[in-house]
Structure 1
């Protein structure tokens, strides 16, 4: 079967080469696509979300009911309508192929969320993104990827729409009120752990593009941070797939070991929650692990994780400036001062949408409305994120993943995570003892 990556890459501008018009720039298009969703939800629209929960063969068909299909059809219409309108000008006559392919991508994403909703899988904290990636990989290895489906492989666009929607759920006043120690911890963890992981990656001769994504994932919040870093440096999506996989695989043993370690060391629930929230790299795994410790641990852990999420936009902004000034992936222009125009040209515009969404929902939307918007925005965001990871699977070959770095990126991640565990424990004891 022919590899699919080359064909799918043709749908995107060459990394580092700016599109000639703003309507070909996926950053701006992602912000444009997220805007009507944010306006609608901010105005009180709360779409009903599918019911996926199940625990065994007895209720395996629970999601496959007429009502659930009707609810899913509404989400499909929103997904197709908004994505299609945003991309219409750049797609031109290919819009029909995109829409047909996007239906397949949506359905695979839907199944990934249904699989992840199994009670046993939820208990392990495995999230839908790993199954979305897996279903995409299964399709790409067992079935053909025709041209009409390749037109729907818009990984970066889907990812960026999801990140802009994520911004609206980061309510800054709530973070400042409930999570000030968490913000301090995040501010002290992120730069130190990022540097240590990046240092280890360079010592292991892992390329800088890989090192940036690994370091950002381990120091901030795993999958979402790696996605933002990839967008900020216009990174290789195969490397993003690798980083996502190792983040999710590493979370499983940590979810088992950390609650046991907290109880064995006699740590308080608050310290344990802060430790877990600062080291586990997905929100689902944080919730699953802290529930084994206690209610206060869950509360603190979630606040700490959200405090790290706040800094995604800041990190992406800094990364984009640094990456541009060092000359991009190959460092070809390192030492040369880039112009302001070049920095703006390479700056990830979706970060602007992320920050504005956070500020607007924090200060210009009534608090009750902003809080009520969290659930529908999460459901809608996961539609685009699931689509993105299905697309990564569709354009990735498993053999390519195993060849990436010869195992050195995994060692760099594990080294960074080991340091993260120790450093975050010290900070959690300092900031949350007696809470």
Structure 2
């Protein structure tokens, strides 16, 4: 397995990693309540399978004014000005991409078709690295050596709603900058061409790794790191920008991994600005967008979108991480088809270990982490948004789970090492006799 990083920091310049904050495990873990499984079973028996109300979490240590979830670097004045103008005009700053290609501060870059043709070799099939609902994705290199992903919308299916999604992605990407969000380089909107140029993330999607497409099994420690990275990214969107953003499509195929298994959240086509709390708004009324299996049931029923809709999707993602299964598994029997329903039922019945991805080792550290992650999932999947934790709280709990997992894993390793040494010593002494 590739060497792991020790922590995730989101307030320094990209690439710099600071030590993890020292959180008190007893204050942050969800195991501080007397009997959460019994409480959950009593409280939520009979509720629809995919939606479970969480046990009430106790008082916890708050991050307060912590910078942990804030932007990984300061956005330039040009970028900020551009994002403001972009929101008004839906076009962005008219800056030549020559600035970007030469490595200068780009602001919001509007590429020309000639430049796109140049870096993709006229959309050469050999440069194509993927195909999605939006269209084809190409890997390209700018003149300054920056490797990028060029997303080109399908002309044959380009319709009004795709135009809205394109503008949504442009406006969202132009406003955000965080270590765990895919970096935005520029775009092109010309005639029937809609192109977005973003950071190239080389190690595929989280879903591909859970499916072992890349050959290696993603261990539970790595999956915990990914969960924390995603929690940081969503917390930043919800809390640490001028106008908070709801991603609306948190899922494993929208999470890209670097060579060091650092997670970056991508695809902002469905993103919406969160309600303005200062004006007393509690939600945004909008048509339902998202992906089946991850959708907040309250949002589905009421068309009321809030940040807690992302929290619900994150709860589904946590279940996906520990089980390895997709949210909906049509090939499984009916009672196991909806993964979150099946996993939560097993957890409430006290049989959490049965849902652990069979490719993961059933160590004491993994078993304990599994139970705590499922308990957090239970809270995130509450049918009423008021009962769900916010993303900052999710990140705090995951930090504590990771801390406990590392300590228990290290303790077990030391114990095994001591036992092995003792066994070798006994054999040596028997050989002398």
TM-score (norm 1): 0.26
Greater relative contact order (Cα < 8 A, sep 6+): 1
Q: Which has the higher strand share?
A: 2
For normalisation by structure 2, the TM-score amounts to 0.26
Computing the radius of gyration from Cα coordinates, the structure with the larger value is 2
* Structure 1 or 2: more helix by fraction: 1
